[in-house]
Structure 1
Amino acid sequence: MKEQVNMTTADDLILGLDKSTDEVAWDLYRKAIRFGTWDPASIDLTRDKKDFAELDEDLKGYLIHFCTGFLDAEENVALKFCPWIMLGSSTEQQAFLSTQLLEEFKHTQFFMRYFQEVFGRERISGVKNVVQQKLDDRVKTMLAALELGEEEREAALVEGLTHYQGVIEGVQAMTGYEVFEAVYGSKGLLPGLAEGFARIKEDEGRHVGFGLRMLKLLARNPLHAKRIDALLNEYLPHILIRYDQPIIVDGKEYPTPPEVRGRERLTKMYQRRYRDIFGKQASV
């Protein structure tokens, strides 16, 4: 019998403003210790190998492209997340954010294992994710802010939370889970990948919920609200590229499954996150 996981959803954290940010951060730190200790190496991939071998070539090609996007994203942030921890304004906040760093490496390990054991190949190159690529400059800005005053540090953290927990995890990743379910999970395919996504989503429920909760509070400052709004609007066309690009694997182009509806799903999730922070619809 699988361990019952205590799910923390983004909605729970965004709506529950009765506790201080530090109290919430410490509660989430404790939950991460208790419930976030799943092992990527323990997920059974036996059925996935069989299912993948029996998929038609179009669905194989799309899945390799799709999972490459996840592996690239998880690995990229795992290697760059330290500034988010360092900019936390208290021990409690830094403690919770430190659990996110570990979890990003676990997510990376899961997808690396999936490529090796199920696909039997390396990830492909050329999957575009502009918002992920912009993390290089984001990290430089956040590190530079560590040497500045409290206002500059808070401003850098606001932008970092918007960029990563708000857009990358809160919109891109959450949309990806929906796409997997629509194309593969709803058909009973790839149960190991389904379990991996479920576990990752549990972790990211804590990440996204905490980040959005902080942004909702920080947006009470008009200067922060203006910058959050500007970043969300700046990044919207970039996140749509994730599902607008051609699906090319080893030089061959594959069709996008009709169930994906990527642009529609991304736009809907983007609007949801905007409402989470500002309580209103984005004017885009």
Structure 2
Amino acid sequence: MSETTGPRTERVDFRATSDPALLDSADRGEAHLLGYGELYSLWERQHWAVQDLDFTQDKLDWHERFDEEERFARMYGLSAFFIGEQRVAAELGPLMRAAPQEDMRLFLCTQIADEARHVAFFDRFYSEVDVLGVEGLEEKLAATSEHLNPEFGVLFDEMLKSRVDRLATEPEDLETLVEAITIYHMVIEGMLALTGQHFIIDYNEREGTLPGFVEGFINVARDEHRHVAFGARFLRDMARSDPRHVAAIQRTLGEIAPVAEGVLKPKWAPDDDDFEIFGISVTETRAFAFRALERRMKVIGLVAAA
């Protein structure tokens, strides 16, 4: 399965973001990356509201169609998203303040709003469907955190947070900003989030389950493609401006790749890369994620084009 097949990834609103992973031309290193002002305007056009979603059928599916084993697997599959959205929403402020241009900062302000909306989306879904049987956002986050694997903590609470903490005290450190954008936009959003979203949405569409969740998660994925498009544009601009930034991107990807691979596999899964999650093997999931990263790196200029 490729990121350019299927009616969902061919949606005009997804491709409007200019995320290179959705474009066959990216294999040749060709892509028209939107400017920061254009990405802001696209955010206004692609606005959506969590309160407009209807989870009535989702609750019936969850409690009447799914057995206990399937509920656990699905809940586990969503855990990293719920916590991940909360983590990145909390970490975006220093990145926004450290951005060297006003139009970059303006777009990153929209991303902070998006990440908060994504947290609200999961909070409302978990509440109305009664996924965990607990009330309150803090309580849901605490219960969900128990299902994360160790690599998730390393990625978010060590690798990303260390860069963000440095930017909070030294916002002029452009090299650290490049590292943070590489971790956040290229790996956390580009490789991990969008890969998981692709397969979870695809699985639910095939099974005809959780229609309200699918509608909202497609909107979340569209937001993420727009964020990744910003990251690709920013890193291409930085790479062209100073070879030290090229080295920073490459160094960061080399450091984080093994951890990212670990995040893609649940901690309860057997030590078998043929093990399937949402109908897709761990091997296929990893291949999909790294293929998307390769396309983005080709457009940024760090991987030779075909």
User: What's the counterpart of residue 80 of structure 2?
Assistant: 69
Shift of 1:5: 5.3
User: Which residues of 2 match residues 90-109 of structure 1 at below 5 A?
Assistant: 90-109=101-120
User: What's the counterpart of residue 169 of structure 2?
Assistant: 144
User: What's the counterpart of residue 6 of structure 2?
Assistant: none
User: What's the counterpart of residue 3 of structure 2?
Assistant: none
- In structure 2, runs of 5+ residues without a counterpart are 1-11, 134-139, 270-274
- Whole-angstrom CA distance in 1 between matches of 2:268 and 2:72: 8
User: What's the counterpart of residue 31 of structure 2?
Assistant: 15
- Whole-angstrom CA distance in 1 between matches of 2:276 and 2:126: 20
Q: Cα 1:258–1:156, aligned 2, differ >3 Å: closer, same or farther?
A: closer
2:197 is the alignment partner of 1:197: no
- Whole-angstrom CA distance in 1 between matches of 2:60 and 2:18: 33
**What is the TM-score when the length of structure 1 is the normalising length?**
0.83
Contact 2:36–2:103 (Cα < 8 Å) also in 1: yes
- Whole-angstrom CA distance in 1 between matches of 2:168 and 2:284: 35
User: What's the counterpart of residue 51 of structure 1?
Assistant: 61
User: What's the counterpart of residue 218 of structure 1?
Assistant: 238
- Matched AA of 2:199: V
* Deviation sequence 1:44-64 (CA, Å, 0-9, x none): 111111111111322211111
- Whole-angstrom CA distance in 1 between matches of 2:285 and 2:276: 14
**What is the TM-score when the length of structure 2 is the normalising length?**
0.78
User: What's the counterpart of residue 192 of structure 2?
Assistant: 172
- Whole-angstrom CA distance in 2 between matches of 1:72 and 1:187: 25
Query: What's the Cα RMSD here?
Result: 2.5
Shift of 1:145: 2.4
Question: How many residue pairs are counted as aligned between the two chains?
Answer: 262
- Whole-angstrom CA distance in 1 between matches of 2:128 and 2:280: 25
Please state whether the residue corresponding to 1:244 is helix, strand or coil: coil
User: Which residues of 2 match residues 88-127 of structure 1 at below 5 A?
Assistant: 88-118=99-129, 119-121=131-133, 122=140, 123-124=143-144, 125-127=146-148
User: Which residues of 2 match residues 192-271 of structure 1 at below 5 A?
Assistant: 192-220=212-240, 221-247=242-268, 257=277, 259-271=279-291
- Whole-angstrom CA distance in 1 between matches of 2:283 and 2:81: 17
Shift of 1:224: 1.3
- Matched AA of 2:31: L
Shift of 1:144: 2.7
* Deviation sequence 1:51-91 (CA, Å, 0-9, x none): 11111322211111111110100001111110111112222
- In structure 1, runs of 5+ residues without a counterpart are 249-254
- Matched AA of 1:52: W
